[in-house]
Structure 1
C-alpha cells in the first residue's frame, strides 16, 4: 500500500494533520502540499472540528522543499514554475487566514519552507532540540513566500537577520525572537499541545477567535482612520453574532458557557 504524504484524524474536536514523509525529513513536494490543503478544506467544513494541530512523523518536523523535486522543476517553463509556486502560496495564505486556530507541534528541526510552515501557524510549540532557519539563500534559492508573513510576524529587523543570513537558530533563540511561542520537552509535547488546544476549545468562542484572527490579518496594512473604522464595523458584527449573544446571556445569568 502506497504511503500517504499526510495523515489526518479527528479526536475530541481537534483535527490532526500529520506530515508523513519521515524518510525525506517531511520535505514538501507537490503531493504533500496538495494533501495538506485537502485536509484543511475538509476540517474547515466539519463543524465538529474547532482547532487544528499540525505535526509530523519522524525526527524532523519539515526540512522545507524537496530538493530533488526542485531540481526537477528547473526543467519546467516559467509558467509551470509559477503555477507550482502559487500552489505553495495558496497553502501559506490558507494557514494564515484560516478561520480556525492552527497549532504547530514541532518535534524536530523546521528549516526553510518547513520553518515557514510552522511560523505561518497561529501558535507553535517546539522541543528544546529543534533548530529553526530559513536556509534558502545558502543554496541560491529565496524564501519568497514566507518572507511576506515573516515581516508581519517579526518585523523587518529580525526578518532580515533570519532571511538574509540563512543561519539556523535554537528553539530558545526562536522563542526569544517571537518565531515560536513555547518550548516543551519531547516527552510532554503531545500532551501539552493537546491540553492547550482543549483549553481553546472549551473556554473560547470559535466564532470570536475566527473574527479576531481575520482582523489581525487585515488591519495591519490600513491607515489609522481606516483601521479603526474597520474595527468598529467588526465590533458591530460581533455584537449581533450568535456566540456573543449566547456568551453574554450565560455570563449575566451566572451560567457556564458551553462552547
Structure 2
C-alpha cells in the first residue's frame, strides 16, 4: 500500500496521506513520499490547485513514535539531516507555485498541525483538534515555528507553542490557523467548490507570483520589499495571463482560465 496517493480530478491534484493505521504519523518514508508527490503535482500541467487530505480518523498525528525512538540513537549529524528532510517538505509546500488547500478531516497535531499550517488554506471539521504538543515530551516545534509566526503572529503563536494546548477547529479559525470549519458530510464538497472557484476565476500565474511575494517580502527591508514589488509588478504585466485578462476585461468578455 502506498503511503501517499496522488490522483487528479477536474484540475485538482489530490495528495492523500495513507497511513490510517498509524494515524498518518510522519515517518522518514512518508515525508519523502510527500515531497515526491508535491513535485509531481507542481509539474503536472493538468493540475491548477492541490488538495492535501488524509485517510482514516486523523489528519496527521505528528511524528511516528517508533521513528522517534530511532532518533534517540542518532548522532547530531544524523538528526540534522533528518531535520532538514522535514524542513524541505514544509518549505516546498509553503513555496509551491500552486495553491495548496488542507482538507482536515481529523486531528492535526505537532508535525501534522505543521502540515496544515504551511498550506495556503485549511478547511476542517468541527471535531478536529489542532496543537503543537512537542513541549510536553521534551521536544520543540522548531521548524514549523517559522511558518506559524508568519501566519498568526507572535502572541497567538507563543500561546500555542509554549502551552502545548490543543484547540478546537473553531478556535483555530478564530486565530487564523484555519479558514473554514464545516461538517464531515460537507468537507470534501466545500473544498472542491472552493478549489474550483480558484481554478475558474483566478489566473495561475497571478496566484504563483502572489505566493512568491508573500513568502519573500516579509524578510526584506521596506525599500527592498518595494523594489521587489515593483519588479514583480512589471513582470506580471508582461505575462500572457495579464495580457489575456486585461484584453478580456476591456472587451467585456468572460475570461476562461
**Which TM-score applies when normalising by structure 1?**
0.98
Aligned to 2:197: 199
Picking from 73, 76, 79, the partner of 1:81 is 79
Q: How many residues align?
A: 257
Picking from 38, 59, 62, the partner of 2:60 is 62
Partner SS for 1:53: strand
Instruction: Report the aligned-residue RMSD.
Output: 0.7
Where do 1:14-29 residues align within 5 Å?
Answer: 14-29=12-27
| CA apart distance, 1:244 | 0.2
Picking from 38, 41, 55, the partner of 2:36 is 38
Aligned to 1:237: 235
Aligned to 2:109: 111
Give per-residue Cα distances to partners, 1:144-163, cap 9 Å, x unaligned: 00001011111111111000
Partner SS for 1:61: coil
**Inter-partner Cα distance in structure 1 for 2:186 and 2:219:** 39
Runs of 4+ aligned residues of structure 1 deviating over 4 Å after TM superposition are none
| CA apart distance, 1:256 | 1.2
**Inter-partner Cα distance in structure 2 for 1:241 and 1:87:** 34
Give per-residue Cα distances to partners, 1:128-156, cap 9 Å, x unaligned: 01000000000111100000101111111
| CA apart distance, 1:176 | 0.5
Structure 2: segments with no counterpart, 5+ residues: none
Aligned to 2:187: 189
Partner SS for 1:187: coil
Aligned to 1:160: 158
Give per-residue Cα distances to partners, 1:113-142, cap 9 Å, x unaligned: 000100110000000010000000001111
Picking from 35, 44, 47, the partner of 2:45 is 47
Partner SS for 2:8: strand
| CA apart distance, 1:43 | 1.1
**Inter-partner Cα distance in structure 1 for 2:43 and 2:114:** 25
**Inter-partner Cα distance in structure 2 for 1:245 and 1:67:** 52
Give per-residue Cα distances to partners, 1:208-231, cap 9 Å, x unaligned: 000001000000111211111111
Q: Is structure 2 residue 139 aligned with structure 1 residue 128?
A: no
